[in-house]
Structure 1
């Protein structure tokens, strides 16, 4: 049994407007499964497929963003010209430079129109053939512990582990990377951006939830009648276990 990282869930004041921003940034198609939900995926994409981690934006207007997100995306660039063009296009679409204490680094930190941080990587970065999203990055206290948990929770392969970061990628070695990055920041609020994982079609979701608990996850009761299971990893990062597909 195993799960797969299939999408990022992002809360938004205006899911439609923010979804339009990210659709233009990524060159992806926009759809909706219902009011207050905007879904983004590549054109012609057959869900789920590890070549892309999709984005679901969910309207949540009554809980504004107050702290730096612990989950963000890194955007890939392929050349100096592409890097410059992307930064210009991002600003034209409403993104702004962001200072999260990064100092002098080879990447550029930006914020989308609702303040969600993301990075534009240098074109000489090691991530290649990932699609527009090079990596999904999660802040953490212990990258080694996160690599152990997420490496067993999913069928993604652990590519690198150090005291400062851990890097995973899909079992078929396609699509974006999943990176856990050591940070001194302490988690203080629930994550407005979180990961969604999905079991394989023949797996029992209850058994999968029990397996995740045995690995160190905690089941969270949000008091809502939903067809998925909300959990937290060993560092308290919320994630959803969706129905098998």
Structure 2
């Protein structure tokens, strides 16, 4: 099994602002873009960051404080095919994760919750 961290997705209300900051900081090119989602990717390795529009996004308080918005992000982990997707899901469940009640990505994209409730995805990544 070959599980790789592929993309960190940051929710925001202003995609151009985050895109400008991270492309300026990292010099990573835009590799995917629609109105509500833009992804950048390293030329040196297989890591990327994406920016996803959320009209209800509330910036986190740092450091965190009870009763205030906490930091939130989710991770996408790449697998090579549907067999590895199944293996990765089974392994995650054995380690304490559960499959999220709502799914949005079809048969090659599964959203799960880690033991603390943070969402992450396993994705059949063909490139």
State the TM-score bracket (shorter-chain normalisation).
Answer: 0.7 to 0.9
Q: Aligned residue for 2:61?
A: 67
Q: Aligned residue for 2:85?
A: 205
Tell me the CA shift for residue 231 of structure 1: 1.2
Establish whether residue 194 from structure 1 lines up as the match of residue 66 from structure 2: no
Q: Aligned residue for 2:38?
A: 38
Establish whether residue 235 from structure 1 lines up as the match of residue 78 from structure 2: no
Tell me the CA shift for residue 215 of structure 1: 1.8
Tell me the CA shift for residue 9 of structure 1: 0.9
**Aligned pair count?**
123
| CA 1:191–1:206: 2 relative to 1, 3 Å | farther
User: How far apart in 2 are the matches of 1:65 and 1:39?
Assistant: 20
Gaps of 5+ in 1: 69-99, 102-184
**Which of 219, 222, 227 matches 2:99?**
219
Establish whether residue 9 from structure 1 lines up as the match of residue 15 from structure 2: no
Tell me the CA shift for residue 195 of structure 1: 1.5
Rg larger for: 1
- Report the 3-state secondary structure (helix = DSSP H, G, I; strand = E; otherwise coil) of the residue aligned with 1:242: strand
**TM-score calculated relative to the size of structure 2:** 0.76
After superposition, residues 44-193 of structure 1 pair within 5 angstroms as 45=43, 51-68=45-62, 100=63, 192-193=72-73
Gaps of 5+ in 2: none
C-alpha contact 2:58 2:69 (8 A) present in aligned 1: no
Aligned-residue CA RMSD (Å): 2.8
**TM-score calculated relative to the size of structure 1:** 0.43
Bigger relative contact order, structure 1 or 2 (CA pairs below 8 A, ≥6 apart): 2
User: How far apart in 2 are the matches of 1:238 and 1:191?
Assistant: 13
Deviation digits for residues 5-52 of structure 1 (CA, Å, limit 9, x no counterpart): 11111101111221111110111112434221111113xx3xxx7x35
C-alpha contact 1:12 1:59 (8 A) present in aligned 2: yes
